[in-house]
């Protein structure tokens, strides 16, 4: 757990494990003809994007609309450390209060923000392959929108898991893969 105190949102740096995973993601993406790199404005997503951008000689475009649902929280607790017995994370396990606590702006506003962020990436990168470094709930909400799912918690992306979405100029968005982790399989804490 990382406590931001009264300073605002908990936005920790990557752990040593996170840095290793970011390097592996960069190595995997090396041969995928990436034309542009995007990250959320949150520190952990930006730091994950740096090895890929550096390897490819690209700048990172930071997009605020792709920040995580917990961006306004004073406490950051990694998913694997959450517990129904911890007062900082118990709300994640309570269906009645989940939306109010996980989505401080409300789930509909969060979904609209995420959709707007990805549509910006698509509109400004026609015909290009883009690596977007964001967050698990951002990915889940975007895929929920594309696939028409009811439950945003039905999918969970691992750290540095790769999801491929193809966007056509006709407006069709196709999920090509979800949560590819072979490049970090030995670094995932199960």
Question: Is 157 inside any structural domain?
Answer: no
Q: 190: pLDDT confidence band, cut at 50, 70 and 90?
A: low
The answer to whether the beta carbons of residues 20 and 187 sit under 8 Å apart is yes
Question: Is 162 inside any structural domain?
Answer: no
Question: Is 166 inside any structural domain?
Answer: no
* Neighbour tally for 6: CB within 10 Å: 6
Predicted pLDDT at 8: 43
Question: Is 178 inside any structural domain?
Answer: no
Predicted pLDDT at 112: 95
Q: Dump pLDDT digits (tens) for 59-70.
A: 999 999 999 887
Question: Is 61 inside any structural domain?
Answer: yes
Predicted pLDDT at 74: 66
φ, ψ of residue 31 to 5 degrees: the values are -100, 25
Which domain range does residue 30 map to? Answer: 2-135
Report the CATH number that the domain containing residue 99 is assigned in CATH.
Answer: 3.40.50.1240
Question: Is 150 inside any structural domain?
Answer: no
Question: Is 59 inside any structural domain?
Answer: yes
What is the model's pTM? 0.85
Q: 135: pLDDT confidence band, cut at 50, 70 and 90?
A: very high
Q: Dump pLDDT digits (tens) for 139-171.
A: 999 999 999 988 877 888 898 999 999 999 899
Cα separation, 128 vs 113, in Å, equals: 22
What's the domain count of the chain? 1
Question: Is 143 inside any structural domain?
Answer: no
Q: Which residues, including other chains, have CB under 8 Å from residue 58's CB and lie 6 or more apart?
A: 34, 35, 36, 37, 52
Predicted pLDDT at 7: 40
pLDDT at position 3 over 90? no
pLDDT at position 103 over 70? no
């Amino acid at each position: 757990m990382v406590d931001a105190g009264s300073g605002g949102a908990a936005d920790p740096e990557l752990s040593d494990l996170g840095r290793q995973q970011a390097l592996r993601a960069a190595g995997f993406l090396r041969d995928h003809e990436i034309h542009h790199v995007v990250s959320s404005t949150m520190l952990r997503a930006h730091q994950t994007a740096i090895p890929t951008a550096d390897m490819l000689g690209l700048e990172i475009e930071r997009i605020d609309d792709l920040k995580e649902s917990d961006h306004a929280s004073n406490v950051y607790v990694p998913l694997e450390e959450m517990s129904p017995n911890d007062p900082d994370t118990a709300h994640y396990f309570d269906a009645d209060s989940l939306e109010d606590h996980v989505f401080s702006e409300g789930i509909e506003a969060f979904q609209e923000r995420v959709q707007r962020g990805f549509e910006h990436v698509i509109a400004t990168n026609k015909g290009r392959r883009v690596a977007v470094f964001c967050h698990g709930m951002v990915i889940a909400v975007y895929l929920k929108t594309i696939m028409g799912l009811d439950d945003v918690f039905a999918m969970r992306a691992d750290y540095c898991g790769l999801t491929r979405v193809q966007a056509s100029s006709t407006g069709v968005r196709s999920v090509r893969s979800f949560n590819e982790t072979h490049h970090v399989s030995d670094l995932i804490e199960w």
